[in-house]
Amino acid sequence: MRFAYLLLLSVLVCASWMETSMAEEKVEYPTFGTIERKDPRLDALLPKEARMEKLASGFKWAEGPIWNKAGSFILFSDVPENVIYKWQEGDTKATPFMRPSGYTGSVARGGEPGSNGLTMDKSGRLILCEHGDRRVARQELDGTKKTLADKYDGKRLNSPNDVVVKSNGDVYFTDPPYGLVKNWEDPAREQDVCGVYRVAEDGKVTLLTGELKRPNGLAFSPDEKILYVAQSDGEKPIIMAYPVKDDGTIDAGKVFFDALPLAKQGKKGAPDGMKVDKDGNLWATGPGGVLILAPDGTHLGTLATGVNTANCNWGDDGSVLYITADKQLCRVKTSTKGNGW
């Protein structure tokens, strides 16, 4: 009897210790920014109690978040620092995952040399837009890297910025000059346009359009019949919508959303990275933070960060939106899911 009593007591003490330990391990992340609601349709996408959480900070310019499903963690670029960071639940800070991330040259340089946009292909391989090395690369499963695109028409690319993979494996990317040390005026620039490109599975690189002055983030509609491209040009901050043809090229586009009125209000930021949810709503960075746009272009609301905001992406079970906002990594729990989850 005494043995049974001691055994029960031991179990209770152990359970109490585990409960206390787990409670101590749970990290409470501070609230970051606010949520502005402009249209009742937003209530179906963001619960009333939703709040943005600041998960990590101290970066120079955080960009390109991508969720690693196999490892259950988020990766993102610090472009000026030439580092990809990793963060996962319970961490109080991010840790380096890849250094260097976008510039492997031996000569020190300034500007924004590191990786920018990141994504995963259907095999779980990391695809990187590498500013300094001026290429789109893929990290193979054995850790080596393969160049997917570094030239078009025999000339070096400017500095690939953002990237998305179509369901058939084709890779689409934008190529503004932000990674060149002197931007458009850099003497090393070889391209005459800032293009939107497609890399077919056979490796062929096609210029889809050169009409945008500063193409940046891009995303497909759920049915892949529309390619959205953000332009971060201060004089014409817009999001374009291009019909996608059966061969993977695009037809003439139209302005889907004009962010100039928001910019004129003094809101920080410009159209940059964006993602689409399962119902075709765009979660697009722009003046004010992350703009939530219905498929018809209506501005439903804003995740107001108060800072220049670079990009966002879905993670966890697909309902959590991770946001790279200037020097911070943030997140918000939504009532929807990212396209493809």
Q: What is the pTM of this model?
A: 0.92
pLDDT reported for residue 26: 80
Cite the beta strand spans of 140-222 per DSSP E: 145-149, 151-152, 155-156, 163-165, 171-174, 196-199, 205-209, 215-220
- Residue 176 burial (10 A CB sphere; 0-12, 13-18, 19+): buried
The average pLDDT across 38-56 equals 98
Q: What is the DSSP letter of 97?
A: E
Q: What are the pLDDT digits (tens) for 295-340?
A: 999 999 999 999 999 999 999 999 999 999 999 999 999 999 999 9
Q: Quick one: how far is CA 203 from the chain centroid?
A: 24
CA-CA distance, 102 to 173, in Å (whole number)?
15
On whether the CB atoms of residues 230 and 273 are closer than 8 A, the answer is yes
Q: What are the pLDDT digits (tens) for 48-58?
A: 999 999 999 99
310 residue type, one letter: A
Q: Which two tokens stand for residue 246?
A: 């059966």
pLDDT reported for residue 10: 52
Evaluate whether the domain defined by 29-333 bears CATH number 2.120.10.30: yes
